[in-house]
């Protein structure tokens, strides 16, 4: 996958996918009777970590300079 494709996909995931995931996570936790605050925070942290795992390969190296760019 090229650097440009990974960069576009990561931007799309952050701008569209993450807000949708947050709404779904809050809805799912809302279905459960309000747990203790520490348990609720732990659930949100775990869900946030699990969200990023499948997209590690897309996000890796996106903040660096384009390796395909020709050198001056």
Assessment of whether the complete model's pTM goes beyond 0.75:
no
Largest CA distance in the chain: 60
Residue 68 is encoded by which pair of tokens? 């395909």
Is the confidence at residue 30, as pLDDT, over 80?
yes
Q: Report whether 62 contacts 8 (CB < 8 A).
A: no
**What percent of the chain is modeled with pLDDT above 70?**
99
User: How far apart (Å, rounded) are the C-alpha atoms in residues 72 and 70?
Assistant: 7
Amino acid 72: pLDDT: 65
Amino acid 42: pLDDT: 87
Is the confidence at residue 71, as pLDDT, over 80?
no
Q: What would the DSSP string read from start to end of 3-27? A: HHHHHHHHHHIIIIIHHHHHHHHHH
Cα angle for residues 19, 23, 27 (degrees, 5° grid): 165
Span 45-61, pLDDT tens digits? 888 888 888 888 777 77
């Amino acid at each position: 996958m090229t650097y440009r494709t990974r960069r576009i996909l990561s931007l799309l995931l952050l701008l569209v996918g993450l807000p949708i995931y947050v709404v779904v996570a809050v809805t799912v936790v809302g279905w459960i009777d309000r747990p203790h605050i520490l348990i609720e925070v732990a659930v949100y942290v775990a869900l946030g970590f699990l969200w990023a795992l499948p997209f590690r390969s897309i996000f890796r190296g996106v903040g660096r300079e384009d390796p395909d760019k020709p050198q001056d």
